[in-house]
Amino acid sequence: MSIYESLNPMQREAVLCTEGPLLVLAGAGSGKTRVLTHRVAYLIEEKKVAPWNIMAITFTNKAAGEMRDRVDRLVTQGAEAVWVSTFHSSCVRILRRHISYLGFDTDFTIYDTDDQKTLMKQVFKTLKVDPKQYKERAVLGHISSAKDRLITPDQFEKEAAGDYRLEQEAKMYREYQSQLRKNNALDFDDLIVKTVELFEHFPEVLNYYQERFRYIMVDEYQDTNYAQFRLVSLLAGKYKNLCVVGDDDQSIYKFRGADIRNILEFEDAFPGARVVKLEQNYRSTSHILDAANDVIRNNLGRKEKKLWTENPEGEKIRFRMYDQAYEEADAVVKEIRDCGSSYRDCAVLYRTNAQSRLFEEKCLLYNIPYRLVGGVNFYQRKEIKDILAYLKTIANGRDDLAVMRIINVPKRGIGAASVSKVEIFASANDYSMYDALARAKAVPTIGKTADKILKFIELIEDFREKLKNGEYGLKGLIEDVLERSGYRAELEADGEVEAQTRLENIEELVNKAVSYENGSDEPSLGEFLEEVALVADVDRMEDSDDRVTLMTLHSAKGLEFDNVWLCGMEEGLFPSMMSISSGNPDDVEEERRLCYVGITRARKRLSLTAAKQRMIKGETRWSRVSRFIDEIPEEQLDTVKKERKIVLAGREINLDDPDLPWNRPSRPAGVSSFGKGENVYASRTAAFSGAAPGFGKAFTVAKAEKLDYGEGDRVRHIKFGDGTVKEIKDGGKDYEVTVEFDTAGQKRMFASFAKLKKI
């Protein structure tokens, strides 16, 4: 039997269509790599195309290696001559041969991220840029974004006209490129940009590669940016034999510059293009695929397709709603322990890195080995270690490692040479590093740096004094450290996705501190650090390949597992509050594509979980179920509901009452999709204001004519203890009271429910 007879009809059509532009819309798990490799084999063995006339471009070296191996197995002779490479590797090979046309030597250097930052520091010095006003990383990010769109320094300058800040960045961009050329160096973005420039300005070079690569294939086309689109368009411009494979429903890298329009508008860019849809899925059960289809069809910016399978129907999608986020993590990890599958067949997926903390702790608690993908262990992350080093120094100045870590973090002008002098002084006098720093004036030849060191010591001593006097608890301490040390300001000034992630991780550390304080009779900084140290001790985990995988949804793309738990399915978390509040519907559509990616990672069983309450920035927030859950028909879901009641204002309330705001459906009954621009979630979102739930018509409350306490008064709460009233707002039906509790942190509540007593 021919190897092509093993393909399904649509796969075979994609393989046999070799001439002209071809768009292969490959749904999740539909065998796109199989199509690409068989297409290479068909071109060589059946169409007699010379292997060196075939180019296959992928996004990662791993994918290129896998494709190379599979082509070698399929093609008996000549496979090694097929050009299988990533975008960047391909461009390096081309530039090494021809970059002299652009005035560079062929032995150019490629600058990595650290090299770029070093160079940008030189640019700052040359242009006398104030590093407090501009951050190297942020400026580099803007330059990278410009290069993705093939915007030159000249164009950047024109677009910046009238905007002082952008005008300054345009000067930095120009100087940065000038310094690169002076150093005979390119950054990663330049590899694409300079190759496009080479092709556009030197037709003879372009013609050589057009003749060389008569058949071009591009994988993961939905992830290409404009510069990559332009590169491919130029290469394929002569023979038009361009085959791109991708899935617009899995375009989730907009923040990296990916432009979904490249795949959505392929037929416009390449007239006469043929479109083949691969919709048969070989990975998942039909219940999982039906859920994926139901969610993604709510996107307007997509090409119509529907996954189907000959696999068994399988189990329904499990949906579980928990009261608290820690209950969610506990239940998920217990389910993994008891599900009967190998740990390696289980994955926990979540929207943000910070969510990993609870799952890591529960895995350690139940002695379940895990692998964290797309990040390091929560307590090993730089920002967490930095803040913990501050806390250790405040708790115990004898920890030299902690002191050394933060003495110049964030930068406060205390250089390595000065620190070395203090170390010598400490060693000679048998002082701890902290004690030596406190005596900085006595350190020989340290000069004016002594004043900067003593400011650091004063800061630490002030933190200690406030904590000792009960001016704040651990949450207040961490937030004070963030603010007064300048750590938060430095991260925020970077203005990048990574900086935002780091702040989210620190907020999760605050959550940990608040949870610890709430669960301890006599909380202390020392005891908190001991608890963290025990949790962070991952060395006691067994070394095994049989591990549960914990990862963000962005990291999960391209992977698959028998059992998947997709956690944190709440509005404001997934989809993210940033996407909801941006005002751009495309942002929520990208979040929905991310959900689609998560659902289609599951082969046999998929569980979706959410929490009604989740701690964010040390405060308990109430959330409603994600719209993505609402978009899955009830008949597809296995949902267990238990009656849960609480007593508020002397009345028994059923938390699952459908009239409560968080239980109301996101769309009218029977409506399965939404019109363009229709804000069907507005009423449900409006039911919430901050940490306290806005209850519906299940009951009413009697608003007091006036309160017997005011702002600044000390009050007592039956659960949270004593605190100080920070703010009182007249909310119409009731007063909203914000209290900074001594041990529980800041809470906002309705006066009728809070029953606060003045003390």
Here the tokens at position 498 are 């990574």
Nearest-10 Cα torsion for 228, 216, 28, 42:
-170
Catalytic entry in 148, 187, 219, 386: 219
220 flagged as catalytic: yes
Taking the C-alpha atoms of residue 509 and residue 382, their distance in angstroms, rounded to an integer, is 13
Here the tokens at position 86 are 């990533």
Taking the C-alpha atoms of residue 126 and residue 141, their distance in angstroms, rounded to an integer, is 20
Here the tokens at position 41 are 């084999």
Here the tokens at position 627 are 């719209």
| DSSP string over 698-746 | T---PPPSS-S--TT-EEEETTTEEEEEEEEEE-SSSEEEEEEETTTEE
Here the tokens at position 590 are 């990208």
Taking the C-alpha atoms of residue 613 and residue 320, their distance in angstroms, rounded to an integer, is 14
Catalytic entry in 68, 362, 601, 605: 601
HSE-CB at 529 with a 13 A cutoff on CA atoms is 17
What SS3 string covers 663-705?
Answer: HCCCCCCCCCCCCCCCCCCHHHHHCEECCEECCCCCCCCCCCC
Taking the C-alpha atoms of residue 516 and residue 508, their distance in angstroms, rounded to an integer, is 12
Task: Decide: 37 and 71 in contact? Cβ < 8 Å.
Answer: yes
Taking the C-alpha atoms of residue 735 and residue 731, their distance in angstroms, rounded to an integer, is 5
Task: Decide: 583 and 625 in contact? Cβ < 8 Å.
Answer: no
Taking the C-alpha atoms of residue 13 and residue 277, their distance in angstroms, rounded to an integer, is 10
370: β partners: 548
Distances (CA, A) of 310 to 8, 314, 606: 12, 11, 18
Q: How many residues are there in the chain? A: 759
Task: Decide: 352 and 379 in contact? Cβ < 8 Å.
Answer: no
Taking the C-alpha atoms of residue 737 and residue 610, their distance in angstroms, rounded to an integer, is 28
Catalytic entry in 148, 169, 187, 220: 220
Task: Decide: 726 and 738 in contact? Cβ < 8 Å.
Answer: yes
Catalytic entry in 12, 13, 33, 212: 33
Secondary structure letter of residue 660 according to DSSP? S
| Among candidate residues 712, 758, 746, 727, the one with its CA nearest the CA of residue 472 | 746
Catalytic entry in 11, 222, 250, 393: 250
Catalytic entry in 11, 32, 177, 362: 32
| Tokens 């994609």, residue located | 14
32 flagged as catalytic: yes
Taking the C-alpha atoms of residue 292 and residue 20, their distance in angstroms, rounded to an integer, is 32
Taking the C-alpha atoms of residue 757 and residue 720, their distance in angstroms, rounded to an integer, is 12
Residue 573 CB-density burial (10 A; 0-12 exposed, 13-18 middle, 19+ buried): buried
Q: What amino acid positions are annotated as catalytic residues?
A: 32-33, 219-220, 250, 601
